[in-house]
Structure 1
Amino acid sequence: MMRLKKWSALLLFILIATLVAACGNAKSTGTAGSESASDAESEQDLPEVLNIGYFEYIDDSLIVKQQGWLEEELNQLGVEVNWISFQTGRDANNALLSKAIDIQIGIGDPPVSIAVESKTPYEIFWAGQTVGEAEALVTKKDSGIDRIEDLKGKRVATTIASTSHYSLLSALQLNGLTEADVQIVDLTAPDILSAWQRGDIDAAYTWDPILTEILKDGTRLISSADLAEQRHPTGTYGVVHTEFGEKYPKIVELYIKQLIRAQQLYTENPDEAAKLWAEGLHISEEEAAKQAKGSIWLTPEQQLSKDFLGTSGNIGNTAESLKKIGDFLVDQKSLTTKLEVSSYEAIINPVYLENVVNKTNN
């Protein structure tokens, strides 16, 4: 009887050990399977299409587009890259609001300030350029308009809610005029060229490459570089729809890497950059090289400084600049409400750029 009990105990021990081992193996297999599923899920957690808005002028994003760098990275993951051209920041804002695009590059301060008031859900992740000689107020040669004060009662074309529009209003104000003193004609940049050639307008405030065209028979009255010296600077930004950025932060960071790569190409090989811009804009390489010098290119480190975006722990002066422009547009009756600087700080998100810079430096 004692021997039977011993055998029973031994068999019970073996049975329990076998079950424990089986459970352990099953658990190990399940863990490996869940890790694979997790990896697959992270790969599958990508959009089918990345829609990027851009403007047809010289900047870092046009190099990225021309080189096909994003396509190289994303197509192999099953993500299509779709580039959509816009003529105005107003149209880009509407596209972001409706989710027709996920990212917009090169959008100016005024449309960003407008987006803050209208609560368009996007964030600034890039501040690649400040505007210099690339935008200017031009009048026809021999028109008798030699000073900004001479524009009173004249037809002046610009693109409403753009950096050029803000600069035009600033130039008028600095010279004792108001928007009511001139006839502002709202046109896209290509339409400004057509109106200029027909003689429908007396002056225009616009940007390259159209600016270069109208300067062939025009006279520059003031540039955005001049206005920056008079405390009315303008710049352009990269913005991402908030929902897209939260869901796909790695794609935003990947795009930033390509923008930095484009900046490096321009710095190290400006002739190659000019060739790419010339092909993209259908202008000569000489014109492209000249126009590229009309903007001030900001390095990632400069963008993360207090003068611009700042850091995630200490938002920079870009918020103050946007507020100043927003307040100015309220005074000009283009906006309705003067907002606190915190409203502008809320849309600046340097985290994407910080992550890229930190990974590059480590």
Structure 2
Amino acid sequence: MKKFEKLMVIILLIGVILFLSIGCNVTSNEKRREKNQESSLPKQINIGILRVPNDETIAISQKIFNKYFTDKGIQCNFIVFDSGVDANKAFASGSIDFATMGDTNAIVALSRGLDVEMIWIHEVLGDIEALAVKEGSNIHKIEDLVGKKIATPFSSTSHYSLLNALKTAGIEDKVELLDMETTDIVAAWKRGDIQAAYTWQPSLGELLKDGKVLISSRDLAKQGYITANVGLVRKQFAQQYPDLVASFIVCLAEGGNIYRENPQKGATIAAQELEISPKEALEQMKGSLWLTPEEQLSKKYFGTEDSTGGFARTMKDTADFLEKQGAIQNSPTQEEFNHFLNSSYIQEAIQILKASK
């Protein structure tokens, strides 16, 4: 009996040793795997932004990116672009990973074969973009612009909206269009070199100090000419770090939630970041539609991987128009747009947000 008891004790000791050994190996493997994952992450990411009061601006100001990037040892570099034209040049050179731009410049990116895809809609544009004319200029309707000089950044959402406004009025060939950056538009306006300009905030606000709105992107959206500021990512980056792309969208969604839950608070945060008044910021933010991740996946916008939403068709219609106007050389196919809008990262971001509650 004593021999049997000793044998059982030995067997138990061997079992305990084996269990502890296996447990240590599992823990060691998990730590090694976590360390490998961390070492495989990029040291920094470059993000092209617009100086406008949007979800990204709030996320930057509130250091939301720190939670998902900085705390993982990833440095976020935010690079300001005046328009999507320069952002596309940066994408072409591979010097940025993400960028915010108007959907027309996203179309330009696709038509030129840049290796990017669309992953987010920052805002659907309304009163934040508009055609302004000077007070006392005797211009009261679109038709009064005949023979006038009108400035706008070419290939931008403002350019697209302006072209449609002129075409609807039947005067697209009776005005002189000037391609200018937003800062140059303000300077030309003050010098009296131009009589009208289609631009966005904050440059629009400068024009309205002694001007008035003739027609806005909200008005044109009601006519079916929808424009938006969207987010793009380099495909190579997205394929290598899909989790980081989903985390990037989480940052934007959290920034957007701050504004949706408390518009005044969101405006105050954006105002501090952009060095404008909270009143100005709030007016600009109210001039656009901010979508939740769930709304982005609706039939009207992204849709899902199984059912492409309406915004891909809107972008195709826009591309066809831009091709006819000579703004782009070729309009991508509808199938190309369907693949260009990638909703998978938004879907993953929604799961991350749910898990964090």
Does residue 206 of the first structure (1) align with residue 194 of the second (2)? Answer: no
Given that 2:142 and 2:169 are in contact with CA atoms closer than 8 Å, whether structure 1 keeps it comes out as yes
Quote the sequence identity (%). 38
Q: What is the aligned partner in structure 1 of residue 86 from structure 2?
A: 91
Does residue 260 of the first structure (1) align with residue 250 of the second (2)? Answer: no
Given that 1:155 and 1:183 are in contact with CA atoms closer than 8 Å, whether structure 2 keeps it comes out as yes
The one of 214, 217, 225 aligned to 2:218: 225
Distance 2:266 2:23 in 1: 54
State the secondary structure of the residue aligned to 2:332: coil
Name the aligned partner's letter for residue 300 of structure 1. Answer: P
Question: In the TM superposition, what whole-angstrom CA distance separates every residue of 1:168-206 from its partner, at most 9, and x where no partner exists?
Answer: 00100000022x422111111122111111111110000
Distance 1:351 1:124 in 2: 11
> How far did 1:77 drift?
2.1
Does residue 298 of the first structure (1) align with residue 303 of the second (2)? Answer: no
Q: What is the aligned partner in structure 2 of residue 141 from structure 1?
A: 135
Larger Rg: 1
Q: What is the aligned partner in structure 2 of residue 111 from structure 1?
A: 105
Given that 2:53 and 2:271 are in contact with CA atoms closer than 8 Å, whether structure 1 keeps it comes out as no
Distance 1:281 1:173 in 2: 35
Distance 1:161 1:197 in 2: 24
Given that 2:53 and 2:267 are in contact with CA atoms closer than 8 Å, whether structure 1 keeps it comes out as no
Q: What is the aligned partner in structure 1 of residue 338 from structure 2?
A: 345
State the secondary structure of the residue aligned to 1:308: coil
Paired residue total: 339
Question: In the TM superposition, what whole-angstrom CA distance separates every residue of 1:143-170 from its partner, at most 9, and x where no partner exists?
Answer: 1222211212211010111100000001
> How far did 1:361 drift?
3.7
Q: What is the aligned partner in structure 2 of residue 357 from structure 1?
A: 350
The one of 36, 49, 72 aligned to 1:77: 72
The one of 55, 58, 66 aligned to 1:60: 55
Q: What is the aligned partner in structure 2 of residue 156 from structure 1?
A: 150
Name the aligned partner's letter for residue 113 of structure 1. Answer: I
Q: Gaps spanning 5+ residues in structure 2: where?
A: 1-17
> How far did 1:339 drift?
2.9
Structure 2 length-normalised TM: 0.90
Q: What is the aligned partner in structure 2 of residue 11 from structure 1?
A: none
Q: Gaps spanning 5+ residues in structure 1: where?
A: 1-22
The one of 298, 314, 318 aligned to 1:321: 314
Distance 2:41 2:216 in 1: 43
Given that 1:112 and 1:322 are in contact with CA atoms closer than 8 Å, whether structure 2 keeps it comes out as no
> How far did 1:75 drift?
2.2
Name the aligned partner's letter for residue 115 of structure 1. Answer: A
> How far did 1:36 drift?
3.6
Q: CA RMSD in A?
A: 2.0
Given that 1:109 and 1:325 are in contact with CA atoms closer than 8 Å, whether structure 2 keeps it comes out as no
Distance 1:119 1:271 in 2: 41
State the secondary structure of the residue aligned to 2:159: helix
Distance 2:252 2:23 in 1: 43
